[in-house]
Structure 1
């Protein structure tokens, strides 16, 4: 932070609530010239007004209402996004006459569309309430893949799906940041993150029933079409529910005015800013985002994490088929056991991060080790035989999925400033789309059925993830120690620093300028 000395000169003590803008080189002004009465009042309320029992009561209400819906929405989007993997084993490629890399492009075009519409989608989320935005986008998911007859129609429908779904995960991150404290971010995100595996298990069981019926009645509706119709019907219902329920504490209908104030006060100490006021778009925070090294750590780590994700989500079932499993066996012997392991590993990781703060990066590092080893072993095994050994190697790679959602939790925990959060979220999902596009393309049709080159690439990416995580954690640790020294030089106590940092955060100051902010790792 080049402007640290200037910040030191202008940082006020708690008794000196700054009513003029900070004269810091490149730093945004606070509240367009002064700390707003609403922001100062909320900080005071957080420190003096509410009891632990009041906070716990509102937290329980938010968990009861929001977490189940966040889980279902996250899981349904994931199931919809990766449904082509299951549909491919039930006749999609044959019925629509796909050849060569055309199936890979059905995954890539989804993420290309996701990438193109991500920036405008995040802008809309900042300008419009979360609930209506997500409700409209989810209703559009109804676009029916079952009507496709060839590669061109599939490509168009997948492109439109990507455009419709690009705001869902950013909205879930906004909700997580606005309702929960830094210590709770990883645990709550992991809970709705288990939806990818959990909903995959549920939809796999339903898909198994659809596939079994189609096998017993070969003249009826093609099973891949039945899967599409089922997912489309589910999203219609969800779009109505999200319209009524989703939102930040300021936006929802199901809290009283007092409960909204309590919910906002709960997150003040995190110093990432509450939603006490609607924030305008700030171009200086856009510039600050791209001056911040953590933006680049996030960008490259998400790309590297998403490359194996993009390949295995679309081709995972086909990998199981290459071992010798039938299409139905890939569901009950491959996908379902693998996803159950994913759920267990997610819940264990979430519990540990809630009870033992500071272990987030260590958990991510540990999770990619079996994924790296499993992919590497799969590439080196003999060409024939060893069915269950191959199954075991691919089975443990699912543990690498723990890292993805935990990387995302670093955004609500470590990014302050409303515009900076939006821009950082856009960067995250651009990286996510880029990595998934690449991942889908490394699985080449010419390498079927074993896809050895792609598996080697995935193994390499898991190893590279580990290296980037070590570097990123070291950066956070260095920044926190540096800021501790700067605050100590000001002669402020930890309580005074927390108070001042909270005032700055509630005035929409970014983490990059606020020397009282400490990064969570």
Structure 2
């Protein structure tokens, strides 16, 4: 089993980061890490999100007519993806720990890329349903693995920005999918393939090609990265240990894997992210149809699907930077969710003109898209111990994809072209998220107060070994709010 924890606490070569020289060295190291790690991970998530939501573009390219889909069969083809995703998310992250990021992440990409390309061959509803299920199974290996991977390279106060940069891959995919689909579906009729078949074939093939490159490009952990020199490797590892303080668990223990199932924070976060993800996935999968329902034709609908995601990208970057600087997560989730609700109100109000409704879609993008990254960062920031964090991350993302199942159902075919039911349900799920965000914020704030005022109460009755394995329950570990 891979054991990424390395103890450099007694290494005298690592100086205190208080000096100006060390601060400059640290900035230089972060820039080097950022340039090497984040752009490539963002590109991988772009491919992942592109492959899962391009079915929305395929729908506009007459997928339903070609396969003879009727009633709610299309929606179930959306939902089944998340069933496969949810079932294999925790096993996938356990495999990540047992193997390594450089092997596991590219392998999952190869399998989902092949599955995507093979969707070209489906002939009916059941074939599409089966293909979408396995697409979810194989894609489940990327997102939670990368979130865990980022926590193995960056301190807590640095993670939301990097997770934000990674997750804007979904925004880029939302923007890029319309443009790419517009170009690809023009191949309709070439080699006796329909436009939607070309869409699946080309996008799946791109994923497989990138996966083979990823085998050689991805490094596992700071202490083994060949593109860092010895001092950089030691410094990168030591700063993570210092960030966790006494909550750092030096030796990997299988018992850590079960700690996530006993932590209330994980379950509150799961409900919170369920509301956020339901909104985001429904928005991503149905935006082309929503825009089309405003009265635009197929081509214009594809192109007008781009700006709302670009707005979400800009919002994600701005919020991620500000959230890391302030070391605050919960209040940003509340504010952003309120933005999303305002956007849906603009879409719902009957008297709103086409321009106002389209602005509403952009406002939804500004509010809904950044929430997911901030929510994930909030939990990973407040869970210590690599095994526990791995399982907690997988549990969180799995429940986010339960939101994907629900989100794929709330925009019903007979509700078009205005989709008032879908807009209303998405807004309600944001309200649910706001409630649980506030609950978690005040609970963590109360615990932090007790940790500061009466730290000994957390340690009484525990042996030295038990104290060393407390992780985020240790009084020295102050939760980020």
TM-score, normalization: structure 2? 0.89
The answer to whether the aligner puts 1:319 opposite 2:290 as a matched pair is yes
The answer to whether the aligner puts 1:483 opposite 2:444 as a matched pair is no
Matched residue, 1:28: none
CA deviations on 1:215-241 (whole Å, 9 max, x unpaired) are xx7896322122212211221222123
CA contact (8 A) 2:245 2:476 kept: no
Relative to structure 1, the CA distance from residue 218 to residue 326 in structure 2 (aligned partners, 3 Å threshold; closer, same or farther) is: farther
CA deviations on 1:173-199 (whole Å, 9 max, x unpaired) are 122111111111111111112111123
Residue 412 of structure 1: which of 377, 380, 388 is its match? Answer: 380
The answer to whether the aligner puts 1:184 opposite 2:152 as a matched pair is no
Instruction: Measure, in 2, the Cα distance between the counterparts of 1:276 and 1:290.
Output: 18
The answer to whether the aligner puts 1:236 opposite 2:197 as a matched pair is no
Instruction: Measure, in 2, the Cα distance between the counterparts of 1:505 and 1:164.
Output: 38
- Structure 1 window deviating more from structure 2 (418-427 vs 442-451): it is 442-451
Instruction: Measure, in 2, the Cα distance between the counterparts of 1:156 and 1:273.
Output: 48
CA deviations on 1:239-262 (whole Å, 9 max, x unpaired) are 123222322213434333432212
Show structure 1 runs of 5+ residues with no match: 1-35, 491-502
The answer to whether the aligner puts 1:517 opposite 2:477 as a matched pair is yes
Alignment of 1:102-501 (within 5 A): 102-142=73-113, 143=115, 144=117, 145-212=119-186, 214=188, 221-246=193-218, 247-271=220-244, 279-282=252-255, 285-333=256-304, 335-358=305-328, 360-382=329-351, 386-399=353-366, 400-487=368-455
Instruction: Measure, in 2, the Cα distance between the counterparts of 1:44 and 1:477.
Output: 37
Relative to structure 1, the CA distance from residue 277 to residue 506 in structure 2 (aligned partners, 3 Å threshold; closer, same or farther) is: farther
Please report the RMSD computed on the Cα atoms of aligned residues, expressed in angstroms: 2.9
* CA drift at 1:446: 3.0
CA contact (8 A) 1:286 1:419 kept: yes
Instruction: Measure, in 2, the Cα distance between the counterparts of 1:75 and 1:275.
Output: 32
CA contact (8 A) 1:273 1:505 kept: no
Matched residue, 2:10: 41
TM-score, normalization: structure 1? 0.83
Matched residue, 1:15: none
CA contact (8 A) 1:39 1:506 kept: no
Instruction: Measure, in 1, the Cα distance between the counterparts of 2:245 and 2:44.
Output: 25
Relative to structure 1, the CA distance from residue 488 to residue 46 in structure 2 (aligned partners, 3 Å threshold; closer, same or farther) is: farther
Equivalent residue of 1:520, what SS?
coil
Instruction: Measure, in 1, the Cα distance between the counterparts of 2:131 and 2:477.
Output: 44
Alignment: residue pair count:
466
CA contact (8 A) 2:319 2:332 kept: yes
Show structure 2 runs of 5+ residues with no match: 459-463
Instruction: Measure, in 1, the Cα distance between the counterparts of 2:373 and 2:465.
Output: 28
Instruction: Measure, in 1, the Cα distance between the counterparts of 2:232 and 2:325.
Output: 26
Instruction: Measure, in 2, the Cα distance between the counterparts of 1:141 and 1:108.
Output: 17
